[in-house]
Amino acid sequence: MNATVRTFRGADSAQALAAAKKALGPDAVVLDARTVPGGVLKRAEVELTVALGPVPALAPAERPRPRPVRPSGPPPAAGPAAPSAAAQEELSSDLRRLVKELGETRSELRLVALQTRAARELELPPSAAEVFSALTARGVEATLAEELVRQAMASKPLEGVVQGVRELVEERLLPCRAPWLHGDRQVVALVGPTGVGKTTTLAKIAARAILETKKKVALVTVDVYRIGAQEQLARYGEIMNVPVLVARDRSELAQAMERVRDADLVLIDTAGRSAPEDVARQAELVRSVPGVLLHLVVSAASGALELAAVAERYRALRPDRLVFSKVDESAGPGSILSAAVRIARPIACITDGQRVPEDLHPVSGRELVDLVAGNPYPPPPGRNP
């Protein structure tokens, strides 16, 4: 009688043995076992070569030791051999490449869809539709992007729409001197929603002032709502060796300002509030300080619609400056235009990370335009913009 030889695969040896037992019965003999490598989308498997009947004759050196499949259940067996470090790294590399390619493909498809919509629904010529889709892909509100493109088309030849849009964006994004770069004494209060990074931004400004312009700095907080807010600011003050004062009302704030009257730069931290009445009450408190400059901190990672809503909520405060935080976390940094057009105030600085003070930067007009509209004219390698 000829032997029946078949192969069975499973996630591990126990699974493959169970399949062999079910198909050939308990008298089958395992001739060979090996691990079948996986791939990017497939796991490694165990493959068993199993015979039923007379075992084929093999040369002594080739003859494997028979292992009967016992009816009492599969014998304990080691799992599949662990892939080597090199194989794991190759798999990780393949996965990273696949994710990147999928992301790029998704972005390209979205851009094509935006261009098609702009050409069809907005009745824009192809070159203008391309500019519109590029702006919206960078996070600019569709209504703002359309307004910019149409204004550029009205004032420039069609081939000059890109430059026309950049000029219009530059008109709406006004840079100013960062707080730590002023030569005269300043009192700056940071206001804004919860979670935008006001306290960390305040610490970055303080560190820049101490390290770069050798200013004498003092910190004051009126945030008596958030758990741990005072402790966080106190830790920053201890690290930088600067005084930190707490003010719970207008009287205490006046006393604190008197105690730090010899500081070159006084930075006031506030609580993130959402209710309009709370926002107004806090603004009234910090506005009681003579000469204070309100810097509205908003997160670039919020998205255009949220930035627009925040700008509307805080516009009644009449902030003097804008600060854009978390630029590094934003999928579409062009969204900052939503706040800038609703609160037409100069932009003092941006933050793009958690490091103190490295991830805080003053910005030029061109850098702001590049942030919103992208840079179609990158500088040659080795040269700064």
pLDDT tens per residue across span 210-241? 999 999 999 999 887 766 677 888 888 889 99
Assign residue 288 the CATH number of its domain.
3.40.50.300
Q: How distant is the alpha carbon of residue 84 from its chain centre?
A: 33
Residues 165 and 190 in one domain: no
Residues 199 and 262 in one domain: yes
Picking from 25, 41, 68, the residue at the C-terminal end of a domain is 68
In a domain, 377, yes or no: no
What is the DSSP pairing of strand 217-221 with strand 265-269?
parallel
pLDDT tens per residue across span 313-369? 888 888 999 999 999 998 889 999 999 999 999 999 999 988 888 999 999 999 999
Residues 241 and 326 in one domain: yes
Residues 184 and 165 in one domain: no
3-state secondary structure of 299: strand
What whole-number distance in Å separates Cα of residue 138 and Cα of residue 375?
Answer: 11
What is the DSSP pairing of strand 29-36 with strand 67-68?
antiparallel
Q: What is the DSSP letter of 380?
A: P
What whole-number distance in Å separates Cα of residue 129 and Cα of residue 126?
Answer: 5
In a domain, 80, yes or no: no
If one counts the domains in the chain, the total is: 3
pLDDT tens per residue across span 69-124? 444 445 555 555 556 666 667 666 666 666 666 655 555 545 555 545 554 567 78
Residues 48 and 160 in one domain: no
Residues 99 and 190 in one domain: no
In a domain, 74, yes or no: no
pLDDT at 75: 52
Q: Which domain holds residue 39?
A: 4-68
What whole-number distance in Å separates Cα of residue 352 and Cα of residue 43?
Answer: 39
Residues 308 and 274 in one domain: yes
Residues 132 and 250 in one domain: no
In a domain, 333, yes or no: yes
Residues 103 and 126 in one domain: yes
- Among left, alpha and beta (phi > 0; psi -120 to 50; other), residue 360 is beta
Length of the chain: 385
3-state secondary structure of 127: helix
Residues 208 and 347 in one domain: yes
Residues 14 and 134 in one domain: no
Residues 348 and 230 in one domain: yes
Residue 76 has φ and ψ, to the nearest 5°, of -60, 135
pTM of the model: 0.66
